[in-house]
């Protein structure tokens, strides 16, 4: 309980310190008393010393890495936030305040267990960029190769665990107090988010992720992934090739270079779908701070991916389910969408399919044949959540990373080429994927690949059939013995029940007989004023009745 109060006090302190009350429009409060309370609070608090966007950014920085990640996500949603707030939050992508008084060379020496100068001919003490989890420094190897060294912020793991523990408590409270919140599975979402954040602290994991992503896009014209120097990777240190490019958020600079924005935007969508459906290994932290653009060929630009700490994968079932849903949406086959939801168990089996189809149609029809600039994916997701609540559909936590990545992709797409039609761009890719993975050729390929295993199993078929026959015979014998045992138990219960009823009837008859035989002496005793016999008879009758009932 003390932790919860500290958590609430910490949040409240940041709200008051940075005057975040300015972010709440007075008209957004329904009750007049709440509006008056907000107005009174704003009169009492001192004037803020920074803009509202800068105040919100600083509050996220003060609250720590969990909240910085939230600010990074919000910074890409210029359709949902005013420009001044989005611009301020964009600094969270790579301009978080650096680690104060950080002895870089000493830290690197501790990680390598040899002097830093033995590995690096040059190591810059000032960071190139600083983010919520780590910061990067320019360096040069003795071989002359330019590299960057990524260093995890010391002591950050306990802070993440404490913040997430409190957020999980809050999620539990919300789930208990708000019945509709159960389907959101907030506690599990918090656990998944905590696991993702803690994975970001493991530089060995990031090294493996980047090596795999680089392998997946070897010789690709869509995405370049820098080389990893795995021999210098340590638990809190990561070394990779230094690359040069233009940040994807510097749209005007890209235009000055003559970059074909339409090609760039289409490549972004194709890169995302390739990672999700072809490789099943997707970069799940694609905020603008992690994306550079190679402008050496402006007519055919290429993305450069940085920071592979967060990688998402899907099960084969989820991947196929998503692919079929997307294809059904592209073809406006809402009946198929309903069928898939029912088959997956994500909505109850007794859902009214006709009504579900009608609601999905009403939600989805307006988004087709519109450029991205006219579609708010955030509002669309909100509407889908409302639809989910209406039909008791559970939110799937295993898809949270994918949903977040889609939000990033849309945010980047809006900045690069607002006319991009996300659906029109993705549909040809998904149809080609379906032809390869779900069409007749895929079925034949699966049979061919399974051929050796099938032949191997066929050779064992006679032995398997004999063993199955013996097991079936043994099972029948067991069932027969169980049936006999159950029959004996039922007969025993029946005998005990008959004996119990006989004893009850006999007891009642004995009580009646005793009362009849004692009636005459009892009457004479009462006539003489002797109540002793009456008390004895009543006690005997009560005791006999209790025994009979027992």
- Burial label for 20, CB within 10 Å (0-12, 13-18, 19+), is middle
Cβ-proximal residues to 70 (8 Å cutoff; 6+ apart), any chain:
60
Assess contact for 548 and 514: CB atoms under 8 A. no
Q: How far is CA 38 from CA 25, 34, 82, 186, in A?
A: 10, 6, 21, 29
Determine the 3-state secondary structure of 391 from DSSP: coil
pLDDT tens-digit profile of 157-190? 888 888 888 878 877 877 776 665 665 567 776 7
pLDDT tens-digit profile of 208-254? 999 999 999 998 999 999 999 999 999 999 999 999 999 998 999 99
The structure tokens listed for 150 are 């990524």
Q: Which stretches of 104-164 are assigned E, i.e. beta strand? A: 120-123, 129-130, 134-141, 146-152
pLDDT band at 436 (very low <50, low <70, confident <90, very high): confident
Average pLDDT over residues 192-197: 78
For residues 284 and 141, the model is more confident at 141
DSSP string, 310-374: -EE---HHHHHHHHHHHHHHHTT-HHHHHHHHHHHTSS-TT--HHHHHHHHHHHHGGGTT--GGG
Q: How far apart are CA 274 and CA 271, in angstroms?
A: 5
Q: What is the pLDDT of residue 136?
A: 94
pLDDT tens-digit profile of 19-64? 877 777 656 555 677 677 777 777 777 777 788 888 888 888 888 8
pLDDT tens-digit profile of 53-103? 888 888 888 888 878 877 876 776 665 677 788 888 878 766 778 888 899
Q: Looking at 163, 285, 294, 307, which residue is catalytic?
A: 285
Assess contact for 337 and 323: CB atoms under 8 A. no
pLDDT band at 544 (very low <50, low <70, confident <90, very high): low
pLDDT tens-digit profile of 405-416? 777 777 787 788
Please identify, in words, the CATH class of the domain defined by 104-154+202-312: mainly alpha
Closest CA to 56 of 88, 90, 78, 96: 88
Determine the 3-state secondary structure of 299 from DSSP: coil
Highest-confidence range of 141-150, 331-340, 356-365, 420-429, by mean pLDDT?
Answer: 141-150
Q: Is the pLDDT score of 503 beyond 90?
A: no
Q: Kindly give the interhelix angle for 334-344 and 353-364, rounded to the nearest 10 degrees.
A: 120
Q: Is 285 a catalytic residue?
A: yes
H or E element in which residue 303 lies: strand 302-305
DSSP string, 3-26: HHHHHHHHHHHHHHHTTGGGGS-G
Please state, for a pLDDT cut of 90, what percent of the chain lies above it: 24
Q: What is the pLDDT of residue 283?
A: 92
* CA gyration radius, the chain: 36
Q: What is the pTM of this model?
A: 0.68
């Amino acid at each position: 309980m003390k932790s919860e109060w500290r958590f609430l006090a910490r949040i409240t302190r940041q709200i008051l310190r940075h005057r975040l009350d300015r972010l709440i429009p007075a008209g957004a409060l329904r009750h007049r008393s709440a509006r008056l309370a907000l107005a009174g609070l704003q009169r009492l608090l001192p004037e803020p010393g920074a803009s509202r966007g800068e105040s919100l950014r600083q509050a996220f920085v003060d609250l720590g890495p969990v909240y910085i990640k939230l600010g990074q996500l919000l910074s890409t949603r210029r359709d949902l936030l005013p420009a001044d707030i989005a611009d301020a939050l964009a600094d969270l992508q790579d301009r978080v305040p650096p680690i104060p008084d950080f002895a870089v060379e000493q830290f690197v020496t501790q990680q390598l267990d040899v002097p830093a100068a033995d590995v690096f001919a040059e190591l810059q003490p000032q960071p190139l960029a600083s983010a919520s989890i780590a910061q990067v420094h320019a360096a040069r190897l003795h071989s002359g190769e330019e590299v960057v060294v990524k260093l995890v912020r010391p002591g950050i793991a306990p802070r993440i665990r404490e913040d997430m523990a409190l957020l999980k408590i809050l999620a539990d409270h919300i789930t208990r107090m708000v019945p509709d919140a159960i389907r959101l599975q907030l506690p599990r979402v918090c656990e998944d988010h905590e696991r993702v954040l803690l994975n970001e602290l493991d530089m060995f994991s990031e090294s493996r992720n980047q090596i795999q992503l680089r392998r997946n896009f070897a010789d690709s014209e869509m995405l370049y992934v820098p080389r990893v120097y795995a021999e210098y990777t340590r638990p809190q240190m990561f070394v990779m090739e230094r690359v040069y490019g233009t940040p994807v958020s510097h749209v005007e600079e890209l235009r000055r270079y003559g970059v074909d924005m339409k090609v760039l935007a289409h490549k972004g969508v194709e890169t995302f779908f390739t990672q999700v459906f072809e490789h099943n290994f997707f970069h799940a932290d694609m905020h603008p701070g992690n994306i550079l653009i190679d402008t050496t060929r402006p007519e055919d630009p290429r993305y450069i991916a940085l920071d592979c700490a967060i990688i998402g994968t899907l099960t084969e079932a989820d991947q196929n389910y998503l692919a079929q849903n997307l294809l059904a949406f592209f073809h406006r086959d809402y009946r198929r969408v309903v069928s898939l939801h029912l088959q997956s168990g994500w909505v109850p089996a007794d859902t009214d399919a006709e009504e579900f189809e009608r609601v999905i149609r009403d939600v989805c029809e307006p988004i087709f044949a519109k450029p991205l600039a006219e579609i708010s994916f955030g509002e669309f997701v909100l509407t889908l959540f409302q639809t989910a609540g209406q039909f008791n559909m559970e939110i799937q936590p295993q898809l949270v990373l994918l949903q977040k990545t889609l939000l990033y992709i849309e945010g980047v797409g809006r900045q690069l080429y607002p006319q991009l039609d996300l659906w029109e761009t993705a549909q040809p890719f998904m149809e080609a994927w379906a032809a390869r993975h779900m069409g007749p050729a895929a079925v034949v390929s699966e049979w061919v690949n399974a051929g050796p295993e099938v032949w191997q199993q066929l050779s064992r078929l006679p032995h398997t059939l004999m063993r199955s026959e013996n097991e079936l015979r043994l099972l029948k014998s067991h069932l027969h013995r169980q049936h006999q045992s159950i029959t004996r138990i039922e007969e025993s219960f029946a005998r005990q029940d008959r004996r119990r009823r006989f004893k009850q009837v006999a007891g009642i008859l004995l009580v009646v007989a005793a009362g009849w035989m004692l009636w005459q002496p009892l009457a004479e005793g009462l006539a003489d004023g002797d109540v002793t016999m009456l008390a004895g008879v009543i006690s005997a009758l009560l005791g006999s009745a209790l025994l009979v009932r027992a």
